[in-house]
Structure 1
Amino acid sequence: MQNNSYLSSAPALLGGLSLRNRLAVAPMSRMQGQDDGLPSPDTAPYYARYARHGVGLIITEALYTDDIASRAYFNQPGLATDRHIEGWRPVTAAVHAEGSKIFAQLQHAGRLAEPGLNRLVLGATGRAATGTTWQTGAANPTPTAATEEQIEEIIAGFAAAARRALAAGFDGIELHGARGYLIHEFLNDGNDRGDAWGGSIENRSRLAGRLLESVREAAPGLPIAFNYSMYAMDEYAYRPRAELAEMEAIFRTLRQAGADILHVSTRRTLRPEPWGETLAQTAARSAPGPLIAGGGLSSLAECERALAWPGIAMVALARPFLANPDWIARSQAGQPIREYTPGMERQPLLS
């Protein structure tokens, strides 16, 4: 068995939390919800299995925050009603019993919502996303640009979901500000709204800042993470026109607005961007503080490389854990690793 100092049993610190190591299970869309948004009966043993196999932190799949416009896909679980609190308490208890911590990731679908799920489809602008939805292959719906009143309702929905996350026993909260969903659409430079919520980077960051403030007030004492990626579900090649300058500004703004933890997602964590450093390195340099890096990591050696960079507190993996819940033990023992194959995310949770 390999002796790995980065992934040993020595406690790691993240946002004031003591974790057993520096490995996290990244959020994965597993469609764990029932029709009413309650987690399915398999959810608690599913997450507990990762904890039993030794990961330090688990981040849930994205949870919707209100019953108006926030659902992204069918069978998505939520934290949108007080009934959801009771549904999640057995999940957090099961993870804690196995010695790990668990964060609730909160999401608003925005214009990427599957058609027919919500009463409204809201976006930063009134432009539809390109292409089709990931779950059903339907044409992306045409949204309505969120009004000032609707933006305030969205913020209130996140705050209410954060209060429920605290009551349900979660150890932290992560805001899904990535991949083209609502928060990310507001941040991107395609947000050309002519009001205080669009145009300049300051205005485009306003929603993210308000959400961080409201979630912190609603769930005092819980660390707040913000998940960011450059690319979107409908635009994998997206890059802001200002590139490095914009990335630095976004990371600084998120940190100053109250993000205890930045979670930077890319398709290849170790691959430098055109400006000469990886996106995680840009975040660590421009906005110092706890940082999770994830995307495309598949071996302990790759995790070690990322964790050796200054400022990287944890690494997050999805597909390796999806295919191998016991990936840590298998990797350390040099045992065969099952390869991820497309469609595994749609298989039963405990298959």
Structure 2
Amino acid sequence: MKLLEPLDIRNIQISNRLVLAPMSRMQANEDGTVSERMPLYYSNYARRGVGLLMTEALYTDKISGRAYFNQPGLCTAAQRDTWRTVVSAVHDMGGRIFAQLQHGGRLAEPGLNPQHIAASDGIAAGNTWQTGRPNAAARAATTSEIKQIIECFERAASYAVEAGFDGIEIHGARGYLIDDFLSASTNRREDEYGGSLENRLRLPVQIVECVRGVVGKRPISFNMSLYKMDDLSYTPPGGEAEMTSIASALETAGVDLLHVSTRKALRDEQWGEPLVKVIGAAVTRARVIANGGLKTLDDCSQCLALPGVEAVSLARALLSNPDWLSMALERRPLETYVPGMEREALRIA
């Protein structure tokens, strides 16, 4: 069974193809440091057989980068030091763990950051997911601020290396800042960071390149999606060809894994094929992680049969079933995800 086979990614080996997807749990300390239960929470998944763990999104700066209240960060030495306890606990259970780095951008909770910046001036549609308030107006980041954002990702990646993480994942999905720059529907800039696909790719590529410079031989993953938190039906103007170009550019920049997030991984997009299949065909060296609506062993097996797809990531299924792997293999009934579970206290069972 492919799901149980080990996977080599650059210089590390993952014991199997099952990945814990990043899940916003909102239970860090107010200063972004790791709370007391977080080492047990993450190591519990490693103990129960999940081969690779992705942390929830970690903010990379305190000025404009936080996305939600009680979000953990990786932009101070104090935050770095508390993450060492998590990494050590996961390694003690034989697991591997990546730090997912994020900038909240226009989707940040109102009033959370001193500055509310985005690719362009504007307001994201609808309400925020954490507090349910209307999204706040954001202004376009200046070129000087873009440079600072890149430097913050570089510093956070350096802290991740010092904390002992096995790799880095860059959050480039769902309408947050990097995806905001990448998407034609939200990036209306007229400088070198907007307009053509080449220009819209500039920020993601520069972040990948600077992270590669500090993580050395550790693997880099890039989380990508079509849908946004405020636009579930977004399709790029260039369709399938545009997604192929994005994947190729990220691979060339130094990405080892493309973590493809969708609402449903096996669903055909407007061009007639699943997004993960398109991305898998677009890359040669990088591997693809499929994410989106995967609940059962059969779902995972179907994804892993697609060309280029080498791993699957689960969120809600693992949240409601920390023992998902053994339960699925033994064909035991799985608990159903109940909306709001991610807001509950961390499960350490």
TM > 0.5 fold call: yes
Measure how far apart 1:117 and its partner are: 1.1
Aligned to 2:324: 327
Aligned to 1:148: 143
In the aligned structure 2, how far is the partner of 1:307 from the partner of 1:15?
20
Confirm whether residue 192 of structure 1 aligns to residue 188 of structure 2. yes
Matches within 5 A, 1:1-40: 5-8=1-4, 10-40=5-35
Aligned to 2:157: 162
Q: Deviations over 1:156-183 (max 9, x none)?
A: 0000000000001100000000000000
Q: Which runs of 5+ in 1 are unaligned?
A: none
In the aligned structure 2, how far is the partner of 1:219 from the partner of 1:253?
19
Confirm whether residue 231 of structure 1 aligns to residue 227 of structure 2. yes
Specify which of 261, 269, 272 is matched with residue 273 of structure 1.
269
Measure how far apart 1:11 and its partner are: 2.2
In the aligned structure 2, how far is the partner of 1:11 from the partner of 1:296?
23
In the aligned structure 2, how far is the partner of 1:134 from the partner of 1:268?
20
Q: Which runs of 5+ in 2 are unaligned?
A: none
CA contact (8 A) 2:263 2:292 kept: yes
Measure how far apart 1:322 and its partner are: 0.2
Measure how far apart 1:205 and its partner are: 0.3
Percent identical pairs in the alignment equals 50
Measure how far apart 1:253 and its partner are: 1.3
In the aligned structure 1, how far is the partner of 2:246 from the partner of 2:28?
32
Aligned to 2:339: 342
Measure how far apart 1:32 and its partner are: 2.8
SS at match of 2:168: strand
CA contact (8 A) 1:14 1:313 kept: no
Aligned to 1:256: 252
Question: How many residues get paired?
Answer: 346
In the aligned structure 2, how far is the partner of 1:259 from the partner of 1:337?
34
CA contact (8 A) 1:171 1:223 kept: yes
Aligned to 1:181: 176
Measure how far apart 1:258 and its partner are: 1.4
Return the letter of the residue paired with 2:204: A
- 189-198 vs 269-278, which deviates more? 269-278
Aligned to 1:241: 237
Aligned to 2:210: 214
In the aligned structure 2, how far is the partner of 1:148 from the partner of 1:12?
40
Q: Deviations over 1:254-292 (max 9, x none)?
A: 111111111111011111212122101100111222111
CA contact (8 A) 2:3 2:311 kept: no
SS at match of 1:111: helix
SS at match of 1:212: helix
CA contact (8 A) 1:197 1:204 kept: yes
In the aligned structure 2, how far is the partner of 1:194 from the partner of 1:7?
45
In the aligned structure 2, how far is the partner of 1:231 from the partner of 1:312?
20
Aligned to 2:53: 58
In the aligned structure 2, how far is the partner of 1:7 from the partner of 1:54?
11
Q: CA RMSD in A?
A: 1.0
